[in-house]
Chains A and B, each alone.
Chain A
Amino acid sequence: MTAAHAPVADTPPSEHVLEVKDLTVEFFVDGQWLPAAIDVSYDVKPGEILAIVGESGSGKTQSSMSLVGLLPPNGRARGQALLDGQDLFAMSKGRLRHVRGKDIAVIFQEPMTALNPVYTIGFQIIETIRTHFPMGPKEARERALELLRMVDIPEPERRIDSYPHELSGGQRQRAMIAQALACDPRLLIADEPTTALDVTVQAEILSLMRDLRQRIDSGIILITHDMGVVADMADTVLVMKDGKVVERGPVRQVFYDPQHPYTQRLLASVPHLGRPDTDATEQTDGPAAPATPAATDTSVREPARTSTGSLQAAPIESDLVLSARGIDIVYEGRKKGTDFKAVSGADLDIARGEVVGLVGESGSGKTTVGRAIVGLLPVKTGSLEICGISVVGADAQTTQPLRSKVGIVFQDPGSSLNPRFPIGESIGEPLFLHRGLRGAELSGRVETLLDQVELPKAMRNRYPHELSGGQRQRVGIARALALEPELLVADEPTSALDVSVQAKVLELFRELQREHGFACVFISHDLAVVEMLSDRIAVMHHGKIVEVGTAQQVVSAPKDSYTRRLLAAVPLPNPDLQQERRQERDRLLAEAAKHND
């Protein structure tokens, strides 16, 4: 430990915490060294936040992990990385272990898996402290408490003895930040620290990190793919593509005057929230028939549910693909009385050809609603009519016709395709089961579908593992459209994709919707995406639909306080606007706090 301290005094005080020169990371694959990062150079000053942006596979994570010697066994790094003047790559493993956790700390993406589930968070923080400092258990515990207070965990005295599963996602991430800060690191590497979190929690964590950087005076490397987060946090931005740095510069320069075409494309593909204000023309040429009667109808009716039965029998009845009144969806517990009500009293109408966005945080019940619509979950109470068939308490026989009228696109394209089926077979399965198509007829139809989602016909015989994420999601969409459904449920179809791929898939989705005119429930946690696609937006919170309205109304003039908070938490991919939004959010939070008192 003393060895780690000494060079700071020996070498002339450099103004950089970290200087990386010509860093090349390579992986040994199939008898060859393949580069994951090539000649990457950057430096970090104390108190500076350097954001490394790029899509998956661009080498942003691997180049940073190589600094702490955490490459997988078939990887190696070359070049120079000077932490306060000493080369990290020239260090012995023992020395490097002293550096890790003490001088360089890492915040990982998924706090649930990065924290050990069998130890309390207090134990894990204390462990870090006592590994690097000669400190008694009592002292260390004091220090851990202090750290937990610093990251604003409520009731730190109680939380210090909590296990990771007892904390919420945001609290877990706070605990991990506390652990990372335990030894006052010179450099903090935050690898997608908020990707796994809800947007409101993300806003909290980001504000905590911004707050901390002023207090701890370390350099921070922020690895992310979210341009909104970059705009919110970074001083300097490094854009990586395919292992090399394509652009670098101060945050404003990169956002306002991107030089490299890749950066321009990346910025262009980020969905902007609240776009109708700036270019309303583009928004209005959306789907052909925006069913306004249903829209106004629902948003007004929401509070008075008792009389909805008669109100709902409006003239637009025949135009509704889906009409839900006060539905409860319950997950049955193992024992009596442990049932969990995921959705309570939800009202929703969807007209033919209409796209309704369903927004909410994780746990708000939005996916549950989607799964209930396609019949994967039973609805016990209320009334739910889909394509004229009441599905509440109905048996499989009655709902059988719905199988060909309702389709679903799942969130994770990797998991929603059977890995043992060629994709042609996956797409053709509904056709085989419902229309009895086989042979040439079936393959002809499958090829048409592949054409529609802009995949080459030859892909029919490929297997899911041979496809990229975006291609897989296209296959998922093709399968959902195979039977020409009247209603499509899209459950976060793009959240597993990179932003530029997401833009393409969304564009395709919009075109297909225009062409086929299916009604759609578009479930997402990303307000910007939902706003781009939807005619109307329904906001869910704690299993209730708190607000329904046209997309423009919900985004520009939200009625419900939760919607306002949700909107304020979405980071804008623009440094200056984001600053305004941050202040707006702080104001809202203060208001809410006052309200609670």
Chain B
Amino acid sequence: MTIPPPDTNHPAGPVEAGAPADLLAAESQAEELKMRDVEGLSQGQIVRRRFFRHRGAVVAMIVLGAVILLAFTSVGFGNWTGWWKHTPLQTGNVTGTGAQPTLSLPTWLGGDGFVWGDHPFGRDESGRDVFARVMKGTQTSLIVMFIVGIVSTVIGVIVGALAGYFGGRLDRFLMRVTDLVITIPVLVLGAVLGALAAGKNSAFLLAIFLGLASWTTLARLVRGDFLTLREREFVDAARVAGASSRRIIFKHMLPNSIGVIIVNQTLLMSTAILLETALSFVGLGITYPNISLGQLINQYQEAFATRPWLFWWPGLFIVVIALCVNFIGDGLRDAFDPRQRRIPSQRALRRAERKAAARAESAAAADSTVGASGKETT
């Protein structure tokens, strides 16, 4: 028979005898549509495309990028002083209304016209510039977030992968170690180590310690994922092909659990920010002369009634960063889940209906002759 094999992706082959032409056309269109979504794309490209469809995640990514840029360029980092005229620790005169924020909103937002001013976020009781302090605190929070993310990812992935892939005694040992780490209350650990690490690089050290305590969830997730992946036949296929264990773990299995890792880690990172804030708020995390957002809130808590702006700005940045990271994590989770299908909205349904009606009309006008053969072929 000369009919094309059904297992090729080209349904537009020779038309079968007795088959209505319009139906075949519709079928090929359907096939095309199905393929159009994924055709010629690598897995990475598909994930990227789905991610960019998630509007919240894209906005969050832009906002987070802007926050990072602002925090690091304004007050500088290390020996470099940024473009902002004040430094976080420089004190000043606070007599009169000098401590009020000079930032005023544009008239269309209910302000007196947009002014940036000398101290946009105001000054604290010692006359220090709050904008500079908040920026410095944001830097600290971001550093803590990224370092915790990196440290816990490395440890979690390695422990989970080894335990899941090799199983047996190694698995039992690694999982007992994980249990042990889980029993350590992170808050207490952070408190003790944060105090020990007080000094110039306290943010780095604190972040590393927090990372050392927070890889457990990831290790368990990766282990679970590896236990399922190990049973998949492509792993057997790689083994039969003579691939080494290292190659199987890192080249074959790890890319397949990347979704779990990325999602869990973004969520962990937003928790890390809040954890650091909480520690600093109770006075145990980042200590003077370093600045963090939680510490700022802690310092200014008594001034809430008189100088509320001291409170708002650090709070706002905590919320913005944590929200952004959560949104990005949400977008990534959707992007990595291939089963997820978007449920059509009512509007999309109606639009499709109208289109179909228009198409049917034009089709009916075009080939009213086919009509009879378009029915059943009994």
Contacts and interface: CB of A to CB of B under 8 A. Distances in A.
Interface string B35-63: 11111111100000000000000000000
B365 to A, nearest CB: 20
B375 interface: yes
B349 A28 contact: yes
Interface stretch (B150-158, B210-218, B337-345): B337-345
B42 A468 contact: no
B307 interface: no
B241 interface: yes
Contact of A420 (B27, B38, B256): B256
Nearest to B18: A260
Nearest to B33: A30
Interface residues of A, number: 68
B237 A35 contact: no
Given A73-B343, A74-B344, A41 B16 contact: no
A430 B241 contact: yes
B246 interface: no
Contacts of B352: 28, 31-33
Nearest to B256: A420
Which of B35, B233, B341, B377: most chain A CB closer than 10 A? B233
A262 B16 contact: yes
Contact of A468 (B7, B19, B338, B343): B7
Interface in B2-17: 3, 5-9, 16-17
Contacts of A246: 18-19, 377
Contacts of B40: 461-462, 466
A268 B3 CA distance: 13
A415 B377 contact: no
A35 B18 CA distance: 19
A353 to B, nearest CB: 21
Interface residues of B, number: 56
A376 B7 contact: no
A245 interface: yes
A411 B255 contact: no
B3 A33 contact: no
B233 A30 contact: no
A466 B256 contact: no
Contacts of A376: 236, 239-240
Chain A CB within 10 Å — which of B37, B242, B243, B344 has the most? B242
A39 interface: yes
A498 B243 CA distance: 32
A463 interface: yes
A304 interface: no
Given A31-B348, A244-B23, A419-B43, A466 B35 contact: yes
A420 B43 contact: yes
Interface string A34-55: 1100110100000000000001
Interface in B330-378: 338, 341, 343-344, 348-349, 351-353, 355-356, 375-378
A95 interface: no
B43 A242 contact: no
Interface in B66-103: none
Contact of A74 (B19, B36, B343): B343
Interface in B209-239: 232-234, 236-239
Contacts of A421: 252
Contact of A34 (B1, B18, B30, B41): B30
A498 B233 contact: no
A378 interface: no
B27 A243 contact: yes
Contacts of B344: 28, 31, 74
Interface string B95-123: 00000000000000000000000000000
Contacts of B37: 30
A507 to B, nearest CB: 10
A248 interface: yes
Interface of B: 1, 3, 5-9, 16-19, 23, 26-27, 30, 33-43, 232-234, 236-243, 247, 252, 255-256, 338, 341, 343-344, 348-349, 351-353, 355-356, 375-378
Given A242-B27, A466-B40, 11 more contacts: A28-B349, A29-B34, A38-B23, A408-B240, A418-B256, A426-B234, A430-B242, A433-B243, A462-B40, A479-B237, A500-B6
6 contacts: A73-B343, A265-B1, A418-B234, A426-B234, A461-B40, A470-B6
Interface of A: 28-35, 38-39, 41, 55, 73-74, 242-248, 260-262, 264-265, 268, 371, 374-376, 400, 403-404, 406-408, 410-412, 415-422, 426, 429-430, 433-434, 461-463, 465-466, 468-471, 476, 479, 498, 500-501, 504
Q: Which 10 A-B pairs have the closest CB atoms?
A: A470-B7, A403-B242, A416-B233, A430-B241, A420-B255, A410-B233, A418-B234, A34-B30, A415-B233, A468-B7
